[in-house]
Amino acid sequence: MGRLAKTVSLVLVLSTVLASAVSSGEGWYKPNDPEHKAAEKAALDNEWIEKLPYVTDVEASWLVCPNEKKELTPVENNILVSTDTEEHAAILEKQLPGSLEGFPVTVVVDRSKQWELEAEHMRAKVKPVIDDPSNKWILKIPHVIRMEPSTVQTEYGEPETGAVAIVVNSGKSIKEVQSKVPKTIGGFPTTFGWVENWLVGECGTNNGKGCDGDEDDNGDDDGSN
């Protein structure tokens, strides 16, 4: 089986889907799945990979693909080898076997540090909007705790734009506050989150999906950060 070269979007899709599967009960994630345990063992048994130049991480993971309903579903377990650039990925592809102990080896470029830096710059541009006295009226809306700089991300975790996060005191208050706040503030989209029992949650912003606390106090993640 030939090796696959992917960007870090694959890694982040796996992380996102894993969290989603656990919380929504999609059912495909099985913590004690024998095949995945075998993939984890294969990754641990081949410690020599981590010693190669340019390798930043090695782990067992899932290769996922969208089905006919565009839902991400697992295709197979694999061994994920992360590196920092496309050039280094090309070098590692020549050094690594296509599979180890029956599991395909996938080389990915981890762009998380780059994306976090981009997100930091985006949040910095939002801060003046948060500090603008003309926007402080939002803090007087019942249930609103604070406003803070945030970002809207793709499903892979890549930041797309800065955003104004409105934090409220309960998931059940989201829709009420949402109806009183404009969709954009200072040119940035608004996102909504809540603080309950020292935990922070987030929900959708444009269509309100997942924001009904009566249906689900936990809501759905809107990709903001």
- Given a cut of 60, is residue 15 above it in pLDDT? no
User: What would the pLDDT profile of 182-213 be if each residue is shown by its tens digit?
Assistant: 999 999 999 998 875 444 555 544 434 445 44
d(CA 102, CA 78): 9
The answer to whether the beta carbons of residues 200 and 191 sit under 8 Å apart is no
Note the pTM of the prediction, 2 decimals: 0.59
pLDDT score, position 64: 63
pLDDT score, position 67: 63
pLDDT score, position 160: 93
pLDDT score, position 53: 95
User: What would the pLDDT profile of 160-185 be if each residue is shown by its tens digit?
Assistant: 999 999 999 888 889 999 999 999 99
Domain boundaries, the chain: 4-110, 114-203
> Hey, how many other C-beta atoms are within 10 angstroms of the C-beta on 152?
21
In terms of Cα–Cα distance, which of 149, 147, 174 is closest to 159?
Answer: 149
| In the chain, % of residues over pLDDT 90 | 46
pLDDT score, position 141: 96
pLDDT score, position 49: 94
> Hey, how many other C-beta atoms are within 10 angstroms of the C-beta on 48?
9
